[in-house]
């Protein structure tokens, strides 16, 4: 979840400005970049509990320790709640899950180096504090009431509002972790095609990355419980956005959707003003009762865009949001999957051919079925595994045509290898952990922290 944005503070006087803001993200192909984000659970090495914000071994101490690597602290009410460096940021999710939002980089080789550097820095500081970090989609051991809360104003507002709109919103905030990739588009037409392809194939990414089979130390009946949680978080701001596939979809239609997403807050003079459930349309008219007569700024609009949580999110770029967090090699695999599909014209065409005749019912059945069944979910005459293998074949060809080589002369398709192995074996990371849990671990969930920590 984002911190306050740093865009213009001038008032918005026309809805057209909101559409133009999105359209301004269009870039020529030479300027397309890759921005990878990932979240991870912290835990204390002695008792495996999540660290609090305060204290000698707390999350703020970790952030302060990371400043030795050149990160600049960001403060809220005198407390360090984020770090910035070279176009990247380190931020906190509501229960202290640590997130790297990577800089926009040219190749997956670059983004993988960035991820490795970040994890090495975190490990250096964390070991001094007797902390560890785990990449999974859902907190495998601790209850919701065991999770700490970070002192960020927007999270207090969301914490109060979430239970009004679904039963699992607080679990989404405190007990989930994801990996995402942000990708560019060249025009409105290019955005539409990429949005449709990525939305239709997002369940395939969910299946390949499924790694959240435990709740409070026991199997929960899902392979991606993180993905299931989004089905009962807040229907006003989640889901598959069926309108994206309708004729005439573009920037204007997405703005209309966002204007109907209820607000959470407005950030004014260093404070979060609670506007939960309020209408941004009324804000545009100066009729927001919590800010009488005030008009929104582009900063308000940029912040508001971060409070919609569909499977694919449009800002000035497209965010792929369907994957569980995981170990370092899968953090590099997610951008490889989507760059291979979306950044090569032949691959984008092939991916569109793969999904173009999916019905709305089929797209939603995939979304609803993969949290429990992942690759083994039946689809037409086959299964999600068949879709995954074909999508991976298309992505690999796209990455090979991109021909972005590292110093050893290897292209980016190598980063797909973990996903290809899962798909060929028809076995997700979640299923492999479940097998360990029932056999080698003897039902002891604590083993996951020792054996899968970064």
At residue 9, the pLDDT reads 77
Give the residue extent of every domain in the chain: 15-452
Distance CA(299)–CA(9), nearest Å, equals 6
Q: Across all residues in the chain, what is the average pLDDT?
A: 97
Tokens 């999508």 locate to: 391
One pLDDT digit (tens) per residue for the chain, 454 residues? 454 455 657 899 899 999 999 999 999 999 999 999 999 999 999 999 999 999 999 999 999 999 999 999 999 999 999 999 999 999 999 999 999 999 999 999 999 999 999 999 999 999 999 999 999 999 999 999 999 999 999 999 999 999 999 999 999 999 999 999 999 999 999 999 999 999 999 999 999 999 999 999 999 999 999 999 999 999 999 999 999 999 999 999 999 999 999 999 999 999 999 999 999 999 999 999 999 999 999 999 999 999 999 999 999 999 999 999 999 999 999 999 999 999 999 999 999 999 999 999 999 999 999 999 999 999 999 999 999 999 999 999 999 999 999 999 999 999 999 999 999 999 999 999 999 999 999 999 999 999 999 9
- Output the six-digit token pair for 315: 């800002």
Neighbour tally for 127: CB within 10 Å: 11
> Is 291 strand, coil or helix?
coil
Q: Which CATH architecture has domain 15-452?
A: 2-Layer Sandwich (3.30)
Query: What ranges in 129-270 are assigned the alpha helix state H?
Result: 153-161, 169-175, 188-208, 225-229, 251-259
At residue 10, the pLDDT reads 85
At residue 5, the pLDDT reads 56
Distance CA(137)–CA(211), nearest Å, equals 6
> Is 294 strand, coil or helix?
coil
- Output the six-digit token pair for 91: 């931020």
At residue 8, the pLDDT reads 59
Spatial neighbors of 409 by CB under 8 A, at least 6 apart, are none
- H or E element: which one contains 273? strand 271-274
At residue 17, the pLDDT reads 96
**How far out from the chain centre does Cα 89 lie?**
14
Distance CA(251)–CA(180), nearest Å, equals 22
Long-range CB contacts (within 8 A, 24+) of 213-221: 213/430, 213/431, 213/433, 213/434, 214/138, 214/140, 214/141, 214/433, 214/437, 214/445, 214/448, 215/138, 215/140, 216/141, 216/142, 216/143, 217/140, 217/141, 217/445, 218/445, 219/434, 219/437, 220/138, 221/372
**How far out from the chain centre does Cα 4 lie?**
17
- Phi, then psi, of 79 in degrees rounded to 5: -110, 140
- Phi, then psi, of 107 in degrees rounded to 5: -130, 165
Distance CA(179)–CA(319), nearest Å, equals 10
């Amino acid at each position: 979840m984002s911190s306050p944005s740093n865009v213009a503070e001038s008032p918005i006087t026309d809805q057209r400005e909101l559409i133009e803001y999105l359209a301004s993200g269009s870039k020529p192909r030479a300027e397309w970049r890759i921005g990878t984000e990932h979240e991870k659970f912290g835990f204390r090495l002695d008792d495996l509990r999540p660290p609090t914000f305060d204290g000698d071994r707390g999350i703020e101490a970790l952030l302060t320790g990371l400043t030795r690597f050149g990160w600049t602290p960001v403060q809220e009410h005198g407390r360090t709640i984020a770090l910035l460096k070279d176009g990247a940021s380190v931020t906190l999710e509501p229960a202290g899950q640590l997130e790297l939002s990577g800089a926009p980089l040219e190749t997956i080789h670059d983004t993988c180096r960035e991820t490795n550097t970040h994890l090495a820095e975190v490990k250096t500081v964390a070991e001094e504090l007797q902390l560890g970090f785990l990449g999974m989609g859902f907190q495998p051991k601790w209850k919701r009431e065991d999770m700490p809360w970070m002192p960020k104003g927007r999270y207090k507002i969301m914490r109060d509002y979430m239970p009004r709109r679904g039963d699992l919103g607080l679990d989404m905030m405190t007990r989930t972790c994801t990996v995402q990739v942000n990708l560019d588009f060249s025009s409105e037409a290019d955005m539409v095609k990429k949005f449709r392809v990525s939305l239709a194939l997002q369940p395939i990414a969910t299946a390949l990355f499924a790694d959240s089979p435990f709740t409070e130390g026991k199997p929960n009946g899902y392979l991606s419980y993180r993905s299931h949680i989004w089905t009962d978080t807040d229907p006003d701001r989640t889901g598959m956005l069926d309108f994206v596939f309708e004729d005439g979809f573009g920037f204007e239609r997405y703005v209309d959707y966002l204007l109907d997403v209820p607000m959470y807050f407005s950030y004014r003079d260093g404070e979060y003003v609670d506007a939960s459930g309020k209408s941004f349309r009324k804000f545009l008219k100066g009729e927001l009762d919590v800010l009488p007569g005030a008009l929104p700024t582009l900063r308000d609009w940029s912040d508001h865009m971060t409070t919609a949580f569909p499977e694919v999110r449009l800002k000035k770029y497209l965010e792929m949001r369907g994957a569980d967090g995981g170990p370092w090699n899968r953090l590099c695999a997610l951008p490889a999957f989507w760059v291979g599909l979306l950044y090569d014209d032949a691959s984008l065409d092939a991916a569109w051919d793969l999904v173009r005749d999916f019905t709305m019912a089929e797209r939603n059945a995939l979304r609803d079925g993969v949290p429990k069944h992942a690759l083994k979910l039946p689809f037409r005459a086959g299964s999600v595994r068949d879709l995954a293998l074909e999508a991976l074949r298309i992505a690999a060809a796209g990455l090979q045509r991109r021909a972005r080589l590292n110093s050893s002369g290897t292209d980016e398709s190598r980063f797909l290898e973990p996903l290809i192995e899962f798909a060929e074996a028809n076995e997700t990371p979640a299923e492999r952990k479940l097998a360990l849990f029932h056999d080698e671990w003897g039902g002891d969930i604590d083993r996951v922290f020792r054996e899968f920590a970064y």
